[in-house]
Amino acid sequence: MSVEPAEAAGAGTRWGRAVGSVPALVMLSLMTLLPAIEVGARHFRWIPSVPGSPIYVQHLTLWIGLLGGVMAARKGRLLALSASTLLPPVWRGPAAALAAAALASVASALAWASWQFAVSEREAGSELVPGLPKWYALLAMPVGFALIALWAVWRPGAGWWGRAFAALGLAAPVVLGRAAPESFGVFPLALTLLGLATVAGLPIFAVFGGFAMVLFWHAATPIASVPVEMYRLVASPLLPSIPLFTFAGYIMVEGGATRRLLRLFEALFGWAPGGLAIVTVVICAIFTWGGSGLTILSLGGLMVPVLIKARYPEKFSIGLLTASGSLGLLFPPSLPVILYGVYAQTPIDRLFLGGLVPGMLMVALVAAYGIRQGVQSQAARETFRAREAMAALWEAKWELLLPAIMLIGLFGGFGTLTEAAALTALAAVVVEAGLYRGMSLKRDFPRVTVECATVVGGILLIIGVALGFTNYLVDAQIPSRLVDWVKLHVHSRVLFLLALNAALLVVGSLMDIFAAILVIVPLLKPLTVVYGIDPVQMGVIFLANLELGYLMPPVGINLCLSAYRFEKPMIAVYRALLPFLLVLLSGVLLITYVPEITLALPRWLGK
């Protein structure tokens, strides 16, 4: 294995950081400011509107997705299945080389397909707005995927043999393109290699992109269908809310919101039996902005030592943090809820209203178990002090106003979801950098934008590329065939829901939630109609099961993050989670079989 000089490596790191930080800073800033200007222009005549603003914001989402994907590839942070962590150490090097070769192959094929799509739009003379050719915006896709392919080959620490093997993947699309679809053995060989690479750690976006392109090739359909579907998603006016809400969350964390809110909830609940457990659950639920896992990494090192010091058992403390890492998935502004609403064509405001009571039920169940453990362990409790509670409330007053801005934007009819997200992000910057001064715009803001873009890029790549795979499923009439099979064999609605629970738990244990939405929702939509299930209830059932799937063996993402964060064997994390799994499973079953838990609030509010 070759080792590069430290000076050169440091220079490369600084160059890569500079190349990524400036565009990320510009793009996220424009995405935040343009919708906010549009809201202001509608209410104040002296604020000029920006013609074509929604179109610019939608295409900036495409660019930030590809830029973030490139930065995630450079840092080795593209989201992947975690099955490779179960391999013996001696196999991990070859597995990494296989995954890199497959990534180089898929990314280079996507770059070529994207280039063909851009050329076709140039020849058609399409324009985004008058005077701005559409194909200019589309260049982000071939350039981004090409850079990801290069980073897959020239990844740090691979050594010359690993890079040479990964470089072989660049030739795979050429070989596949020259082979006829009916060539004996080529199709099953390609599927087998992709399957092995998936287990070896191939990023999830490349899994879907690879399978989609091989299936389209086998069906004699142009592989440009994959980037076409990816671009079609950009036309959704709701998609930009995903990076904007994520940006707001990162700004709050960087500005010290977790510390202030932790002080507040400790002052309010620390006196109660199991009070510190309640605080842990509530804080984790609040900061589950973009799915799951980030709370485990960011709060685990803070909360677990505090819990242990308060006489909670270490096993319970680790289980509590791990189980709480996805408790906020049903609350605004949950990104999975937004994506589900976009993709299932279900009103997002109804989904958030429908998920509010089920989400609080899941939080209450985990908190109740924490209270029980606190009593059994005789955990330390704080004396309630009204002066401390008022001081903590006053300190956190501005951050407590941020959810009000978000909720008014979502449910008050003052703007679109994207505009609500932009106002939330802008208010977060003002609060954290201006009022609290917990974040420096010069020192911290560029770093936060890069980190946000890196995480968002990994998510948006999965969302965009997986659409190509789901488009193949629809073309192959798989959803309609599944409906016919289920109607023939499952006649009971109760039995169908039970089978659905089991299937979604398995999916959640093996697949990222964003990918699961894009793959499974097209299969579920027709079944929702067949069994007469309200679309909002189906959405909440779907998301609640996937929330629990994060905790399911063998490779639920929360399990892997917890084992990494607390440096514990996977089996130890399994044991710590078992009682929480049973508690949360009872909540999922209640949500599934008692529809009023989900539907009463939207019905009461006339939604």
pLDDT digits (tens, 9 = 90+) for 176-197: 666 666 666 778 888 888 888 8
255 to 251, 283, 444, 590: CA distances (angstroms): 6, 16, 9, 38
Same domain, 229 and 247: no
φ, ψ (nearest 5 deg) of residue 154: -100, 55
Domain final residue pick, 234, 264, 284 = 234
How crowded is the C-beta side of 80, counted as CA atoms within 13 Å? 24
| Residues 287, 321: Cα–Cα separation, whole Å | 12
- Is residue 361 included in any domain, yes or no? yes
- Is residue 185 included in any domain, yes or no? yes
Instruction: Tell if the pTM clears 0.85, that is, is over it.
Output: no
| Residues 44, 104: Cα–Cα separation, whole Å | 51
Segments of the chain with pLDDT less than 70: 1-20, 81-88, 156-158, 176-184, 234-235, 289-294, 297-298, 300, 410, 412-413, 554-556, 560, 564, 607
Same domain, 223 and 282: no
| DSSP H or E stretch at residue 258 | helix 257-269
Domain final residue pick, 234, 250, 274 = 234
CB crowding 487-507: b at 16 or more within 10 Å, else e: eeebeeeeebbeebbeebbeb
- Is residue 19 included in any domain, yes or no? yes
Cβ atoms of 382 and 244 within 8 Å: the answer is no
- Is residue 1 included in any domain, yes or no? no
Same domain, 156 and 226: yes
Same domain, 254 and 112: no
**In terms of residues, how long is the chain?**
607
- Is residue 485 included in any domain, yes or no? yes
Quote the number of domains for the chain: 2
pLDDT at 431: 93
Same domain, 222 and 318: no
Same domain, 370 and 440: yes
pLDDT at 3: 33
pLDDT at 357: 95
| Residues 319, 327: Cα–Cα separation, whole Å | 13
Give the pLDDT confidence of 423-481 residue by residue, as tens digits.
999 999 999 999 999 898 888 898 899 988 888 888 888 888 887 887 787 777 777 78
Same domain, 126 and 245: no
- Cis before 240? omega within 30: no
One DSSP character per residue, 28-93 reads: HHHHHHHHHHHHHHHH-TTSPP-TTHHHHHHHHHHHHHHHHHHHHHHTT---B-GGGGGS-HHHHH
245 to 122, 277, 332, 409, 456: CA distances (angstroms): 33, 27, 10, 12, 10
Domain final residue pick, 207, 234, 261 = 234
Same domain, 196 and 275: no
Same domain, 11 and 71: yes
| Residues 232, 247: Cα–Cα separation, whole Å | 23
- Domain boundaries, position 51: 6-234
Same domain, 208 and 262: no
Same domain, 245 and 190: no
Same domain, 326 and 221: no
| DSSP H or E stretch at residue 128 | strand 127-129
Number of Cβ within a 10 Å radius of residue 348: 21
Kindly state the DSSP code that residue 577 receives in the 8-state scheme.
H
| DSSP H or E stretch at residue 506 | helix 493-510
Q: Encoding tokens for residue 523?
A: 């299969």
pLDDT at 1: 33
pLDDT at 329: 87
pLDDT at 8: 33
Q: Encoding tokens for residue 216?
A: 């389209």
| Residues 48, 153: Cα–Cα separation, whole Å | 48
- Is residue 229 included in any domain, yes or no? yes
* Mean pLDDT value across the chain: 83
Cβ atoms of 546 and 296 within 8 Å: the answer is no
- Is residue 26 included in any domain, yes or no? yes
- Is residue 389 included in any domain, yes or no? yes
| Residues 286, 300: Cα–Cα separation, whole Å | 15
